[in-house]
């Protein structure tokens, strides 16, 4: 697939780039995408949730009444989970939700996600640009020029640029990242993928 390179005004520069078919034109593997997204979301979980068990709840351990003959159910201490203020029965404990995936499977997932974006014609290639200072207004103007201001966008830079990153971080529908941090979840979450000139070489080196 061949795409025209646009400038920050949204006009064609006259240059074109050919998307690598080994990355943007493979047979997508949905199960690889599922596993990679599942791992990404699992790694976001802190796992610090905790509930008090019987030994951690304050209260008397005295048996509330004799075992038999009362006509009611048998009861232990007031710390039982069946009472208000008692312990949580089988409550959550701190744990690590992360799990391992093979590097080749993660590469396949990212290639599959990029292929879907290419098939949907949701990829724009933007010529390299810089910002002298962080200006959200200028970034919004750029998105308007690319006709992507009203959709969820993911801009992929060849490398970190503090001014560009800070210009778009307050926009709820815009995300900016370096090519080396590109992941399957963010690719699929975005409606529009904006690849800044130079980022594709980085992506190809990572996914080759």
How high is the pLDDT of residue 111? 96
Same domain, 192 and 156: yes
Mean pLDDT, residues 133-146: 93
Number of domains in the chain: 2
How high is the pLDDT of residue 139? 94
How high is the pLDDT of residue 188? 96
Q: Does the structure show a pLDDT above 90 at 14?
A: no
Grouping H, G, I as helix, E, B as strand and the rest as coil, residue 123 is strand
Grouping H, G, I as helix, E, B as strand and the rest as coil, residue 156 is strand
Q: pTM of this prediction?
A: 0.82
pLDDT tens per residue across span 140-152: 999 999 999 889 9
Range of the domain at 76: 49-96
Q: Does the structure show a pLDDT above 90 at 1?
A: no
Domain boundary among the residues 65, 96, 127 is at 96
Same domain, 118 and 81: no
Tell me, what DSSP letter sits at residue 56?
A: G
Tokens of 127: 């010529």
* Closest alpha carbon to 9 in 178, 138, 117, 151: 138
Same domain, 22 and 83: no
Residue 77 phi/psi, 5-degree rounding, is -90, 170
Mean pLDDT, residues 2-9: 90
Residue 2 phi/psi, 5-degree rounding, is -110, 130
How high is the pLDDT of residue 2? 87
Distance of CA 54 to the CA centre of its chain: 37
How high is the pLDDT of residue 135? 93
C-alpha dihedral (148, 149, 152, 155), degrees to nearest 10: 70
Interhelix angle 103-119/30-44, nearest 10 degrees = 110
pLDDT tens per residue across span 59-77: 999 999 999 999 999 999 9
């Amino acid at each position: 697939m061949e795409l025209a390179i646009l400038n920050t005004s949204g006009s064609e520069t006259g240059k074109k780039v050919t998307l690598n078919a080994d990355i943007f034109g493979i047979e997508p593997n949905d199960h690889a995408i599922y596993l990679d997204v599942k791992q990404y979301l699992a790694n976001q979980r802190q796992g610090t949730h905790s509930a008090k068990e019987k030994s951690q709840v304050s209260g008397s351990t005295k048996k509330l009444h004799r075992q038999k003959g009362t006509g009611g159910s048998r009861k232990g201490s007031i710390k039982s989970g069946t009472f208000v203020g008692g312990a949580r029965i089988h409550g959550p404990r701190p744990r690590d939700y992360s799990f391992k995936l093979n590097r080749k499977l993660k590469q396949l997932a990212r290639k599959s996600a990029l292929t879907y974006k290419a098939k949907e014609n949701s990829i724009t290639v933007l010529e390299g640009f810089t910002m002298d200072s962080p200006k959200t207004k200028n970034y919004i103007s750029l998105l308007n020029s690319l006709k992507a201001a009203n959709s969820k966008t993911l801009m992929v830079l060849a490398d970190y640029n503090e001014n560009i990153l800070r210009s778009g971080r307050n926009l709820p529908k815009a995300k900016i990242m370096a090519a080396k941090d590109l992941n399957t979840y963010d690719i699929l979450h975005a409606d529009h993928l904006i690849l800044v000139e130079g980022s594709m070489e980085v992506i190809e080196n990572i996914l080759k």
